[in-house]
Chain A
C-alpha cells in the first residue's frame, strides 16, 4: 500500500468519523475493486461499515454481494428520480457517498435512507429467488407458519427475509446509538417507510388449477413490484414529506409534525427535521454541494427542471449542438442493436 493511499484512507476515516450519521455503507457500491465478498476477512476491509455491521457481514457473508448490489441500485434509482432537480443525487468518490448533503436531517436525506433500506430488502429478496442465498425463507421463520419445514408446509416468502435482513443491517447504525437522538428516530422511520414502499405495493397474482383448470383450487402469491415503481413511490413520499420535531409522548419520545395542524404522518410517509438548502451554489466547505452551474435545463418548463428554477435566476447559456441519435434500429431482445445514425441539431441550455 503506497503512502498516498494510506493518507487517503486516513482522510476518509477522518471524514467518516466526522459524519458518522451518513449511510456510509452505501459506499459498498463504489467498491468494485474488491471483487466478490466471499470470505469473512473481506468484511474487515470493507470501508463504510460500522463494527456491528462488520459482525453482520461476517455472519452473512453470502448476503453481502446482494447488499452491495442493493447499494448500487439505490444510487442509480436516486439519480434517476432526481435527474431533473437541483440536487441530482450526484455521488462523490469519497465517503460519505452523497457528500454532506445527507448528513443533515433534510428531505433529501430522508429519501436516501428510505431508498437504500428498500434497495437492500429488494436486492436480498432477489438473491433469495435466484438461489444465491441458502438461508432464505425457511430458516428465518418470520411468520411462524412452518415449524415442520419445507416438506410439510413450504416456506415463507423470500420478501420476509429480505426485509428482515434490511432491518438488521441498515437499522443497526441507528439502533447502536440509542433511540433518543432526533436523527436516529428520523432515519429509523424513513428506513421503515422505504421498506413499506415495497411491502405495501406487492402485486398479488393468482393461478387456478382445479379440475380442468377451474378456480376450485387457487393459489395466490405476492410478487415484488419492479424497483422503478418502488423509486416512484418513495419519490412521491419525498414530495409530500412531513417536517417533524421530537416531542415527549407519554414516556417515549416520538416525532410529531412541527405544524400541529398537519395530519400526523403514517408509517409510509417520509419525515425530515431540517429544511433543505437551496442547492444553488457550489459550496467547497460542504462536499456534495455542487451547485447547478453547468447543468442542462429545459427552457419551456415551469417546473424545477425549467431553466428559471434550475439556474436559480442566474440565467443560462444556449448552444446549438449536433446530436448523433440512433434511428431505425433493429433490436434483439438482448445484446444486439443495429442502428443508423441520424444527426440533428438541438438547442441545449446550460445554467450559468
Chain B
C-alpha cells in the first residue's frame, strides 16, 4: 500500500478536505441537537386493579381493560378487596399501553417495559430473603378501539425481588415502602400495533410456595420506554443520506485498487472490508419495520453494530501491524490471528449473550436472562469473557503502537543515511501512520467525551430560545463521525494513480540490504511512486 493519496496531496488540499469533513461533522451534531427530539421516552403506567369475577375455567382468555368502554370491575386498594372477600388469585393488574387518546406507532421501533412493585413494610408480613415473585402475564394488541383483543404472548415468569428498607424494621415504620430494584419485564422489537394491553396476575399456591412471602403489595407500576418517532425519522434520514455516500466512495476506492497492476495488499482489503461493514450498518433496512412486523430488527441492529465494531478494532490492529517497519513479512491475515482472535472471540461471546436475551425474546417477550440465577451467572460469564478479550486486545494494540513509535524513532535516526527512495518510503509510512493515529485518537476522544457528557447531563440544554438535545446530538454526531472516519480513510488511503515517470526507481537499484525485502514488496508492486518521489527523482537527475 504505497503511495496513498494522502501523501500526494498538497497541504492546502488536505486542509480543504479536513474543513469539509469538519463541516459535515458539525452538521451531524446539529441535526441531532436541534432537529431531533430526545432519543427515547419513558412513560409511567400505574396498573389498575381489576377483579376477575368469572368462576372456573372459561372459553378463551378474558381481557381486562383499565379504562374506557368495557372497563373491568376496579378496586381502589386491597383493603377494599379484603372487605369484599376477593382473593388474590382473582385480581388482575391491567395496563393499557399507551395512555388514553394516544396511539403507538411503528416509528417507535421498540418498546421495553420495566416492572416495579410498591411493597409496604409490615412488621408481620415482611419480604422474605431471596423472595421470588411469579407473574402470570399476557400481552394483547388491537389496531382500533372497538375490535377484540388478539393475544400476542402469554407466559409465567419469575422475577427476583431485590428490596430493602432504608429505615429500621420497627412498628413505627409500618407503611413505608421498600426500595426495590427495577425488574426487566418485557421487550418487543417492533411496535407494529396501535394499542397494547398487559394483564398481570400474581397467583398464590401455598403448597408450592408460589408468591408466598413477598410482602404486602400495594401497587404495580410499569415504565414503558420507546424510541421517539421524531428521532427515528431523523435517524432514518441520516442513514438514507449516508448509505449512498459511503457506497460511492467504496466503489471508487475499489475501482482504484483493481486498476492497479498488482493484487491488493492486506491493508487495502481491510479498509474495503471496513467500508462494507459501515455500509451494512448504514443501509436503512429499518424502513421495512414501518410496514412489516419484523420483531428481529432489534437483534439484527445489534449484530450489525457488533460486526462494525469488530471490523474497526481489527482494522486498527492490522494498520499498526502493516506500519511496524520491521523486517517481517506480513501482508497476510493469518499473521494477525493472535490479535484478532480476542476480538472475534469477544464478539462471539457477546453475540451468544445477545441471542440468549434478545433472541429468546423473539418468541417470549417477557423472557429475561437476568431473571434466573443460572441465567445471571451465564450472562455475567459471557460479559466477563468479552471484557477480558477487550482488555487483551487493548494490551496488544498499545504494545503495537508502542512498537511502531519505537521503530519510527529508530528509523528517524537512520533516515539521513538512507537512499532517497527508501527514505521517502519510510517518511511516507511515518506520515500515514501518524496522521491516522491522530485522527483515530481524536475520534475516540470525542466519542468518550460525548458519552460522558450524555451520561452525566440531564439530556437537554437550554440555549436562549433553543433547546439542544444533548443525547440526540451524541447519537447523530458520533454516528456521523465514524461514517466520516471511514469515508476519509477510504478517500485518503486509496492508492494514488499518478503514473511512474520515465525516471522510475532511480534509487531502488541501489537497494540490496535486508531492509529492501519489505520495500520491494510494497514499492515494486506499487502502481507508481508518489508525486513526491517523482519530483525527487527529477531533482536527483538534475
Chain B contact residues, majority secondary structure: mixed
A-chain residues with CB within 8 Å of residue B67 when the two chains form the complex:
130-132
| A150 in contact with B98 given A213-B357, A329-B124, A331-B125 (CB within 8 Å) | yes
Most chain B CB within 10 A, of A130, A131, A132, is at A131
B-chain residues with CB within 8 Å of residue A327 when the two chains form the complex:
124
* Complex-state Cα separation, A128 to B46, whole angstroms: 9
| Structural contact, A221 and B102, CB atoms closer than 8 A | no
Q: Which residue of B lies closest to A69 (CB)?
A: B76
| Structural contact, B101 and A221, CB atoms closer than 8 A | no
- Assess whether A12 is interfacial by the CB under 8 Å rule: no
| Structural contact, B37 and A134, CB atoms closer than 8 A | no
- Assess whether B99 is interfacial by the CB under 8 Å rule: yes
- Some 7 contacts from A to B, beta carbons below 8 A apart, are A129-B221, A130-B45, A134-B100, A136-B99, A215-B455, A219-B41, A226-B176
| Structural contact, A333 and B182, CB atoms closer than 8 A | no
- Assess whether B306 is interfacial by the CB under 8 Å rule: yes
Q: Which residue of B lies closest to A139 (CB)?
A: B101
| Structural contact, B102 and A333, CB atoms closer than 8 A | no
Q: Identify the stretch in A203-211, A240-248, A308-316 within 8 Å (CB) of chain B at 4 or more residues.
A: A203-211
- Assess whether A138 is interfacial by the CB under 8 Å rule: yes
| A129 in contact with B228 given A154-B37, A221-B223, A334-B217 (CB within 8 Å) | no
- Assess whether A89 is interfacial by the CB under 8 Å rule: no
Within 8 A of B (CB), among A320-349: 326-327, 329-336
| Structural contact, B100 and A209, CB atoms closer than 8 A | no
| A219 in contact with B42 given A152-B230, A226-B118 (CB within 8 Å) | yes
- Assess whether B283 is interfacial by the CB under 8 Å rule: no
B311 CB to nearest A CB, Å: 14
Q: Identify the stretch in B56-64, B84-92, B146-154, B527-535 within 8 Å (CB) of chain A at 4 or more residues.
A: B84-92
Within 8 A of A (CB), among B258-272: none
B315 CB to nearest A CB, Å: 19
| Structural contact, A212 and B88, CB atoms closer than 8 A | no
- Assess whether A126 is interfacial by the CB under 8 Å rule: yes
| Structural contact, B87 and A148, CB atoms closer than 8 A | no
A-B contact count (CB 8 A): 159
> Which of B44, B211, B467 is within 8 Å of A223, CB to CB?
B44
| Structural contact, A128 and B177, CB atoms closer than 8 A | no
How many residues of chain B are within 8 Å of chain A by beta carbon? 75
Within 8 A of A (CB), among B163-177: 175-177
A-chain residues with CB within 8 Å of residue B105 when the two chains form the complex:
151
A-chain residues with CB within 8 Å of residue B212 when the two chains form the complex:
332
> Which of A129, A137, A211, A213 is within 8 Å of B45, CB to CB?
A129
Q: Which residue of B lies closest to A144 (CB)?
A: B467
* Complex-state Cα separation, A155 to B42, whole angstroms: 9
| A152 in contact with B96 given A126-B46, A145-B37 (CB within 8 Å) | no
| Structural contact, B112 and A207, CB atoms closer than 8 A | yes
| A221 in contact with B175 given A131-B67, A151-B105, A331-B125 (CB within 8 Å) | no
| Structural contact, A145 and B467, CB atoms closer than 8 A | yes
- Assess whether B506 is interfacial by the CB under 8 Å rule: no
Most chain A CB within 10 A, of B103, B107, B229, B231, is at B229
| Structural contact, B216 and A219, CB atoms closer than 8 A | no
| Structural contact, B175 and A228, CB atoms closer than 8 A | yes
- Assess whether A146 is interfacial by the CB under 8 Å rule: yes
B-chain residues with CB within 8 Å of residue A249 when the two chains form the complex:
none
B484 CB to nearest A CB, Å: 19
- Assess whether B354 is interfacial by the CB under 8 Å rule: yes
* Complex-state Cα separation, A126 to B98, whole angstroms: 15
B-chain residues with CB within 8 Å of residue A336 when the two chains form the complex:
87-88, 204
B-chain residues with CB within 8 Å of residue A148 when the two chains form the complex:
230
| A155 in contact with B302 given A131-B96, A205-B182, A331-B125 (CB within 8 Å) | no
* Complex-state Cα separation, A211 to B176, whole angstroms: 37
| Structural contact, A80 and B43, CB atoms closer than 8 A | no
Q: What 1/0 mask marks residues of chain A from 220 to 231 whose CB sits below 8 Å from any chain B CB?
A: 110100101100
Most chain A CB within 10 A, of B98, B182, B228, B306, is at B228
A254 CB to nearest B CB, Å: 28
| Structural contact, B88 and A335, CB atoms closer than 8 A | yes
B-chain residues with CB within 8 Å of residue A138 when the two chains form the complex:
102
A-chain residues with CB within 8 Å of residue B451 when the two chains form the complex:
216
> Which of A137, A153, A216, A228 is within 8 Å of B176, CB to CB?
A228
- Assess whether B273 is interfacial by the CB under 8 Å rule: no
Most chain A CB within 10 A, of B40, B91, B216, is at B40
B-chain residues with CB within 8 Å of residue A229 when the two chains form the complex:
176-177
B-chain residues with CB within 8 Å of residue A326 when the two chains form the complex:
124
B133 CB to nearest A CB, Å: 8
| Structural contact, B99 and A128, CB atoms closer than 8 A | yes
- Assess whether A217 is interfacial by the CB under 8 Å rule: yes
| Structural contact, A211 and B66, CB atoms closer than 8 A | no
| Structural contact, A154 and B216, CB atoms closer than 8 A | no
| Structural contact, A154 and B228, CB atoms closer than 8 A | yes
